[in-house]
Amino acid sequence: MKKTTPRSPRPQLLPRSVSIIGTGSHVPARVMTNAEFAARKELDTSDEWIRSRTGIIERRFAGEKEFTSDMAAEAARRALSNANVKPDEVDLIIVATVTPDMPFPSTSTFVQHKLGAKRAACFDVNAACSGFLYALEIGQQFVAAHTYNTALVIGAEKLTSILDFTDRNTCVLFGDGAGAVVLRSRGGDSHGILTTCMGADGAQGDLLKVPAGGSRCPASHASVDGKLHAIRMMGREVFKQAVNAMNAAATEALARCNLNGPDIALVIPHQANLRIIDALGERISVPRDRIYVNLNRYGNTSAASVPIALDEAAHEGRIKRGDLVLMVAFGAGFTWASCVVQW
């Protein structure tokens, strides 16, 4: 019998530190103001109600021919350029979204094609508004484990494609956009992603959902007539859970790093409601001037909200090398996630 040479065992590599080496974001040009909603008499809403209950003043709406993958690809181009990385250097693309271009193929494969990132493996992640931080943890693990060197992590949404514009409880809250980061190890640098936490409570799924379009309720005339392809939310209950879960996720990430709120230079929270953000700041002892807020301009962009805010904060000089940044999000599922980065 022919003898086979035993394969040499895989070298044991220690996990390496992973950094965000570039950020980018893109929002559609069309600005939709509160006043435009208020002008639709049948909605019976006002600028004052939306502003005082949510903090939102305006949001961006994508055009009919502008898809989630278009916004994702533009945000990714900007992140790659910011990181000085070429598309063919990207090993992995993860897109977090609840509004994919279509059920399959994944939005990440459309993004790969648009970028010309031919070497990249691609998949999507759905953890609703926590999706970007889930995807960031996954991308981080691949780079830390030496499986890949360069990962592109994107949060992108066209939420206007799943809004019921006759439901004032939801249609005024959401907007479209995309944000992206490039992950790599900077070698011996101990800076980078210090910790990531993720969690979920599947018992609460009914409080925030899109009921139809999946295997439970495939598209039909009845599902369309019943507006079952649009977001349904029990706002007051979601609000309470969001405050508790964001606080718990933030506290866990800080504890894992042996840090307290006052050590953090900037908090980047999911942008759903200014009152949720203020309650979080109060509970973790971080004043408003160290919490990044842009929901007044974009509303809730779900998985895109944290990476858009991170990119804007970085470009505005709100984050300096060595600063500790806390990101925290909460979303449908329920899901929650947090992350501490040393910039």
Q: Is the CB of 57 or the CB of 233 nearer to ligand COA? A: 233
Helix axis angle, 274-284 to 47-54, nearest 10°: 20
* Residue nearest ligand COA, Cβ-based: 235
Torsion of CA 278, 280, 285, 287, to 10 degrees: -30
- Minimal distance, residue 316 CB to ligand COA, in Å: 24
Pick from 110, 134, 298, 330 the residue near ligand COA by CB under 6 A. Answer: 330
182 Cα distance to chain centroid: 14
Give the active site residues: 129, 270, 300
Q: How far apart are CA 25 and CA 309, in angstroms?
A: 9
| Interface stretch with ligand COA, choices 62-70, 178-186, 216-224, 230-238 (CB under 6 A) | 230-238
Binds ligand COA (CB under 6 A): choice among 112, 140, 273, 294: 273
Determine the Cα–Cα distance for residues 112 and 88; give it in Å rounded to an integer: 10
Q: Which is nearer to ligand COA, 54 or 112 (CB)?
A: 54
Report the interhelical angle of 131-144 vs 305-315 (nearest 10°).
Answer: 70
Specify the residue, 168 or 232, whose C-beta has the smaller distance to ligand COA: 168
Q: Does 172 sit near ligand COA (CB under 6 A)?
A: yes
Q: Does the footprint of ligand COA cover residue 138 (CB under 6 A)?
A: no
Out of 168, 232, 283, 315, which residue is the one contacting ligand COA (CB under 6 A)? Answer: 168
Binding mask 281-320 for ligand COA (x = CB under 6 A): -------------------x--------------------
Site for ligand COA in 103-132 (CB under 6 A): 129
Residues 200-219 touching ligand COA, rule: CB under 6 A, are none
In this complex, which beta carbon is closest to ligand COA, that of residue 67 or of residue 336?
A: 336
Nearer to ligand COA, 207 or 257 (CB): 207
Q: Distance between CA atoms of 320 and 95, rounded to whole angstroms?
A: 27
Between CA 140 and CA 338 the distance in angstroms is: 13
The footprint of ligand COA on residues 21-60 (CB under 6 A) is 45, 49-50, 53-54
Question: Smallest distance from the beta carbon of 53 to ligand COA, in angstroms?
Answer: 5
Cα–Cα distance, 284 to 262 (Å, whole number): 8
Cβ distance 294 to 309 under 8 Å?
yes
Q: Give the 3-state secondary structure of residue 193.
A: strand
SS3 269: strand
Q: Does 232 bind ligand COA (CB under 6 A)?
A: no
Q: Applying CB under 6 A, does 238 fall inside the site for ligand COA?
A: yes
The answer to whether 242 contacts ligand COA (rule: CB under 6 A) is: yes
Residue 331 contacts ligand COA per CB under 6 A: yes
When the beta carbons of 143 and 200 are compared against ligand COA, the nearer one is: 200
**Number of shown-chain residues binding ligand COA (CB under 6 A):** 21
Q: Who's near 114: CB < 8 A, 6+ residues apart?
A: 69, 70, 73
State the burial class of residue 321 (Cβ atoms within 10 Å of its Cβ: 0-12, 13-18, 19+): exposed
* Number of helices and strands in the chain (H, E): 11, 13
Q: Assess contact for 327 and 310: CB atoms under 8 A.
A: yes
Among 199, 239, 278, 323, binds ligand COA (CB under 6 A): 239
Question: For 138-169, b where at least 16 C-beta lie within 10 A, e where not — what string?
Answer: bbbbbbbeeebebbbbbbbbbbbbbbeeeebe
Where along the sequence are the contacts to ligand COA (CB under 6 A)? Answer: 45, 49-50, 53-54, 129, 168-169, 172, 233, 235-236, 238-239, 242, 272-273, 276, 300, 330-331
